[in-house]
Structure 1
């Protein structure tokens, strides 16, 4: 899963005199637009278990997680997603029903049968030195490159040892010609260069060996070596495949290699490739369908990133996954990643070189996009700086090399396939067993240099490079870091991911969601883990700290919920500089007309008095300030029962001195986020108020000359009549339905239509709440509406708060869409709004011109409020008109409340009485009373008169005839005795 990078860092002490900083922010100097949902996402993993993830999904919701990666790390390369299948004669797993599978059973983890690379960190042995002749390494058939295996024999001080003999047990097929070579390259070190990338191997005295298989015992002139390689030149098979059962190395009679079944003890080996073929290990703790149910339970539903099994899986198995999820189940998963850290020697078939990976990537791409051409198929790389084809100098150090990613892209270009790259995935853990927190924090700005070559390669080798996104699909502070769960990691993650985004990064996935303190991969005594949330391992007196959020969680929470506006409104990093290197600063010009600045003080000792100068943004004096400090979170080291106490949510506060030049103090090791309001645009005020036409008569099909419905909702699904899909969105704080799967169909739509859109929820105070967009096409492609005069719709709200309608215009600067605020009613109301009366809010002084020829959607949003409130959105019959429509009006029914019948009360909802009849019962009803029942549209649906002395009046709800069947919904009752009236509402739930 992780590359172990040995870094040699020289840290020099420095003193900051005065502990001050000048911060300069230019709100008009745009650096990089970003999506907070994409940038602040997370890795999930099958090993978490469904119960753990489901129980804590509310924490994902609270943090605003929008993208989740699955099935998780290196396990992805040994994971069969669907257990409903069998192995074929070539030892490949085949899903039942392929290529159109429709059945599913939980997937499982497998172990490669022919693994040639030791993965000590995952306790997975290689078959070459396991002291077992019944196991073997096999290379991938049909791979035309020369295949090899490498044995690492350097001592614990990284020094060479003498060797002069090798014993090889060949399988079938075997090498008919091969070489025994050695290397003394200075590994490890040099930023993750690995010995298998070396081009300067030296032949032993054996030179070229002719082979006939079987067991061979070969002696050669003694060499002093760190690594021994068997280079296979030609094969006994036509598909260039090779099999080796066991290898042993000697110096005379003394065995140099350690041949053991224990991956922690055996001599490490690396292989050039691995054949298909695996064995069942265990079922995953969370299967694909369970993972999807978690994604769909979030609001809005999380977007999955699926990592495909590159080494023990096939292209057909990958294509089957696309078919099952997108065609059969309709999940429409867009993003698919091919393998995990495939160039790493810890992977099931790694290390794979760039050319073989590129060749196989094309095969995966073609198979998967043949099923669904809309998906993104993404190549996955260890890190930007990975080398290959390294030339060593006389001192056994690198003197020249190629870059892995560049060679991959060159291969695609040479084969005419450069157009298939839409995204690139990388990983980066900047430290290995760091000595201190300061060591890690010194790496937060590495993207200033590391992103440059990647951006250059994308511009050079990719078609439409501006559309190629960068995905950091794994990151954290380091491998085997003792500090990951400490408070400081909030500083690291905040500064690290924002530096990545500043340099053009698009997606970021923290590794990982859950963790339990324990020994590291190679550090048995650190008791740390990668989890953003405690994974349920605490027990006894410490069980009260189970599932507690870690400092890394709070970093994501702050960045998503305080530093950023909602994805739909837009966010743009703008120029922000600090004169003090200990103070990291970033600024976000937000689509909700605010400017947020994050100040990250990485000094453990010095408060920093910060003078902030703003240009092209004039704030109101009152601003919001969020603070996160060591007083909020402290890590208590207690072995495997380590925990945090305190563990508090960041604190919200205010300042009243914001201006274009103001001062704020940032204490040592603190994070502050200051969010300011544009003083020139305090509210979104339309130039006109639309005319309200209450209870207009309207049918479910257009009645206006030249009108065109966008959706009448009456088919019940959320696909509109133009092919777009209704989409709800929110601010990450307010709550509303987690899944908007279909229209509400209870006969209570506008003018009694059967179906309509209904969204309810709670809008948090001082937030903008939520809304719903109705796209004009399936992929939000812009449409030309210049032939129409305006938009019409029916709307029902709470009658207290206004609502907003705006039109999404493609490429409008600063996401400052044209729209209008309007008053709502508690009954269906018809609105007709000319395009000429729409106005911009004016956020960011970006301006914009209404053109009408590049419109993507119509959007409705609940209104802002300084206090929390329950909001309601009801929408029906949305469309566009020309030649000004005229609606036929009917008078509104007015019901006057007269209190003379106060003693009457109603048994709410449906109730079955002693007589066995189900319905609504009215009690204490006087003689000679008339009952009338109206639906929410004001239509009379039932009436009766009572002239007996029985004080109970019954409204039968479950008659056999359809007219007597009472539907779920809101009803109004009127009791009238000829003089007095009593009215009320009844909610029927079925």
Structure 2
């Protein structure tokens, strides 16, 4: 119900303050923003829950450089309060020793499966990742400096699938594993040589991709897997032999070996039962058989990502050794993060490894956190499994094992995931045909897996990351104008795949792109981030965590053709993480957290706002209307037109559309545009020419005001208005 108020149109507000050099008067376009109070708010949230940021792993030595008092004060000053801890080791195909103290399953040889010590001792200031020596993927999502053991040319190394996907742990038979070779282009193929490790496959099929030819891992070609005429093996004996796949060679770029039954045998001297679970392959060669019976191998074998033929695998054994410590990456220690003040004393969202770790290590972390008395927003299980080609059923099986281990420690802590890399709405070629059910999108198959086991409620929240623009050389303005609709469509797709609308949604990372570009440190980044927060909350989201909390130097993607330097960060820094300048992202995030939002611990009501232009064209504007707990209205306006100022009239729509009223009391205007911020591109030495906070003016008139929105700007207008909060608010998120 609308509160008792003589319902009228709120004043016509046309927001001005043009930036220097803007379009001359007379060329100003006009639009109207309508705030609809009739149906009540679309969402209710508290900023201390909904508006957050994340900290991540970085290079060795960065934690001590970042977690200094002056830097932490600068980070806290933005006003973002809840915190999420990102797990870079999970992206790098590494096991996370979240506590450097702990024990190995094979203590004598300092190897096997690691479990960190769950008893508090000296504060944990840094933690580390350990590379997995049984790795099968050539490419990873972190430093990307590892390589596959399937084509490293070393007969003593091997890839091994994750033993936790065996029936011993899952209670299920249907978890086929696979390896894929990308030969780079279609070449004649009629034979394969597989040098098996132990355990080996007793039943498997060799297949080729019949369909489109696109680069992996970024391409998603249409087609299907077809088994070679002689590519099915039902009584494999391991060893090292050549298998003829067809009488005649046929062109193929992608080959998949689908592994369906294991020998369940252990290598000599093995004592851990996990050594006998899954599949092990030492080396793979692919090509054509000559008249002499020799294989003409098309696979490039090298202990180098850049030199070897690319391989992709379904899973990886988290077994490793003390000597596998990654010298290049570290995570800030759990105790260091909680002591930093970045959590503001609020519950933190903490990750555990799933793809490359063990349930025991996850449970140990939760015991440690509880013994320290640290408040938790929840536990996020895994990081970007979809971007690492794991089948949804395999992730589901590993997820449930981690859930069971965590629930044994604390039955009430919220658990969720999977921190989607993307919101794919189609099946992936990697795991096509591996399920008894028809191929469907990743989330749809994960939900079906959980539901079939009566475990749907174990997905306590769904998390995803949002970096929608991969082409960092493309014009920025069209992308900015598409961004809100793209996010709204992606969120709607989650529900179309079967996600219950009662499941809380979390964006655990967001930014313009996952790749470095000037847009991230320029005005465009601030505009994009504001639209993400506004759109996400309007669509019912629960919490959005900005990526780039820590100071970072500028970077450039080596593979792009354009000269663009940037980073997702609040602060441009030197290589030692000393802050050199605040970016537009800092000023934009602070505007939302401190001016658009009010008291961070109280409920805010978000109402739908529609933008209509003077013509049939859709204005490049966005509007997000809040009623704050102090009773004030705060409207966030985003002008994504890079050259055109816009006049905007605000009105409230409701059951009495004829009535008109002006603003109640003075209005605060906050505006951020080129007048406050301008970037100077100079390669890795790029800096803002000016970097000032938003302009603040108090508008005291009670009559209609004629003002303008500058090109590429953020504006917050804040004033009294109709007391439209419902008698029964929607759920506070």
Indicate whether the TM-score tops 0.5: yes
Within the candidate set 456, 460, 471, 1:433 is matched to: 471
Offset, 1:201: 0.9
Within 2, Cα distance between the matches of 1:36 and 1:190? 40
Indicate yes or no: 2:180 matched with 1:150. yes
Offset, 1:847: 5.5
- Residue 495 of structure 1: aligned partner: 531
Change (3 A) 1:392 1:75: closer
Offset, 1:673: 0.8
- Residue 717 of structure 2: aligned partner: 674
Matches within 5 A, 1:490-639: 490-514=526-550, 515-520=552-557, 522-523=559-560, 526-537=564-575, 546-580=579-613, 581-615=619-653, 619-639=663-683
Q: 1:131-161 deviations in whole A, cap 9, x for unaligned? A: 2222211012243422110011233xxxx33
Within 2, Cα distance between the matches of 1:148 and 1:165? 18
Offset, 1:363: 1.6
Change (3 A) 1:314 1:102: farther
Within the candidate set 97, 106, 116, 1:80 is matched to: 97
- Residue 136 of structure 2: aligned partner: 116
Matches within 5 A, 1:459-470: 462=500, 466=502, 468-470=503-505
Offset, 1:645: 2.0
Change (3 A) 1:88 1:232: same
Within 2, Cα distance between the matches of 1:231 and 1:61? 50
Offset, 1:657: 4.1
Indicate yes or no: 2:56 matched with 1:61. no
Q: Is the 8 A contact 1:43 1:72 kept in 2?
A: no
Matches within 5 A, 1:175-574: 175-186=201-212, 188=214, 194=220, 200-209=224-233, 210-220=235-245, 221-237=248-264, 241-251=278-288, 255-278=297-320, 279-282=324-327, 284=330, 286-294=332-340, 297-298=341-342, 300-326=344-370, 328-345=371-388, 351-380=389-418, 381-388=420-427, 401-434=439-472, 435-441=474-480, 442-455=482-495, 462=500, 466=502, 468-482=503-517, 483-514=519-550, 515-520=552-557, 522-523=559-560, 526-537=564-575, 546-574=579-607
Within 1, Cα distance between the matches of 2:238 and 2:576? 54
- Residue 984 of structure 1: aligned partner: none
Change (3 A) 1:118 1:39: farther
Per the alignment, in what secondary structure is the counterpart of residue 498 of structure 1?
Answer: helix
Within the candidate set 112, 121, 125, 1:91 is matched to: 112
Change (3 A) 1:164 1:469: same
Per the alignment, in what secondary structure is the counterpart of residue 535 of structure 2?
Answer: helix
- Residue 197 of structure 2: aligned partner: 171
Within 2, Cα distance between the matches of 1:320 and 1:182? 43
Within 2, Cα distance between the matches of 1:92 and 1:656? 67
Offset, 1:266: 1.9
Offset, 1:365: 1.4
Within 1, Cα distance between the matches of 2:663 and 2:343? 32
Per the alignment, in what secondary structure is the counterpart of residue 305 of structure 2?
Answer: coil
- Residue 35 of structure 1: aligned partner: 46
Change (3 A) 1:276 1:567: same
- Residue 397 of structure 1: aligned partner: none
Q: Is the 8 A contact 1:623 1:658 kept in 2?
A: no
Within the candidate set 678, 682, 685, 1:641 is matched to: 685
Offset, 1:666: 0.7
Within 1, Cα distance between the matches of 2:602 and 2:410? 29
Change (3 A) 1:174 1:41: same
Offset, 1:191: 12
Per the alignment, in what secondary structure is the counterpart of residue 360 of structure 2?
Answer: helix
Change (3 A) 1:39 1:299: closer
Q: Is the 8 A contact 2:220 2:428 kept in 1?
A: no
Per the alignment, in what secondary structure is the counterpart of residue 283 of structure 2?
Answer: strand
* Unaligned ranges ≥5, structure 1: 1-15, 346-350, 394-399, 681-842, 850-855, 857-990
Change (3 A) 1:35 1:523: farther
RCO higher in structure (CA 8 A, sep ≥6): 2
Within 1, Cα distance between the matches of 2:120 and 2:200? 38
Change (3 A) 1:431 1:299: closer
Q: When the two structures are aligned, how many residues end up with a matched partner?
A: 639
Within 2, Cα distance between the matches of 1:200 and 1:848? 52
Within 2, Cα distance between the matches of 1:171 and 1:189? 29
Change (3 A) 1:606 1:26: same
Within 1, Cα distance between the matches of 2:459 and 2:86? 23
Within 1, Cα distance between the matches of 2:639 and 2:239? 65
Change (3 A) 1:18 1:192: same
Q: Report the TM-score when normalising by structure 1.
A: 0.60
Within 2, Cα distance between the matches of 1:275 and 1:553? 41
Q: 1:389-415 deviations in whole A, cap 9, x for unaligned? A: 76999xxxxxx8512112212222221
Q: Is the 8 A contact 1:179 1:230 kept in 2?
A: yes
Within 1, Cα distance between the matches of 2:403 and 2:140? 31
Offset, 1:561: 0.7
Change (3 A) 1:51 1:509: same
Q: Is the 8 A contact 1:433 1:479 kept in 2?
A: no
Q: Is the 8 A contact 1:112 1:276 kept in 2?
A: yes
Structure number with bigger Rg: 1
Within 2, Cα distance between the matches of 1:664 and 1:614? 18
Within 1, Cα distance between the matches of 2:358 and 2:430? 34
Q: 1:528-559 deviations in whole A, cap 9, x for unaligned? A: 222222243289xxx8xx34221122221111
Q: 1:349-372 deviations in whole A, cap 9, x for unaligned? A: xx2211121222122112112212
Offset, 1:450: 1.8
Within 1, Cα distance between the matches of 2:610 and 2:580? 37
Change (3 A) 1:192 1:577: farther
Per the alignment, in what secondary structure is the counterpart of residue 359 of structure 1?
Answer: helix
Indicate yes or no: 2:78 matched with 1:52. no
Within 2, Cα distance between the matches of 1:476 and 1:417? 32
Q: Is the 8 A contact 2:199 2:278 kept in 1?
A: yes
Indicate yes or no: 2:162 matched with 1:162. no
Change (3 A) 1:68 1:607: same
Within 1, Cα distance between the matches of 2:346 and 2:214? 40
Offset, 1:625: 0.6
Change (3 A) 1:248 1:481: same
Q: Is the 8 A contact 2:391 2:431 kept in 1?
A: no
Within 1, Cα distance between the matches of 2:541 and 2:215? 27
Matches within 5 A, 1:504-903: 504-514=540-550, 515-520=552-557, 522-523=559-560, 526-537=564-575, 546-580=579-613, 581-615=619-653, 619-657=663-701, 663-678=706-721, 843-844=723-724, 846=726
Q: 1:333-387 deviations in whole A, cap 9, x for unaligned? A: 2311001001222xxxxx2211121222122112112212231111213333353
Within 2, Cα distance between the matches of 1:370 and 1:509? 28
Q: Is the 8 A contact 2:467 2:510 kept in 1?
A: yes
Per the alignment, in what secondary structure is the counterpart of residue 42 of structure 1?
Answer: strand
Within 2, Cα distance between the matches of 1:847 and 1:212? 72
- Residue 9 of structure 2: aligned partner: none
Q: Is the 8 A contact 2:210 2:223 kept in 1?
A: no
Change (3 A) 1:376 1:319: same
Offset, 1:286: 2.2
Offset, 1:271: 0.7
Q: Is the 8 A contact 1:67 1:302 kept in 2?
A: yes
Per the alignment, in what secondary structure is the counterpart of residue 387 of structure 1?
Answer: coil
Within 2, Cα distance between the matches of 1:302 and 1:51? 24
Within the candidate set 15, 24, 37, 2:34 is matched to: 24
Q: Is the 8 A contact 1:497 1:508 kept in 2?
A: yes
- Residue 23 of structure 2: aligned partner: none
Offset, 1:103: 6.7
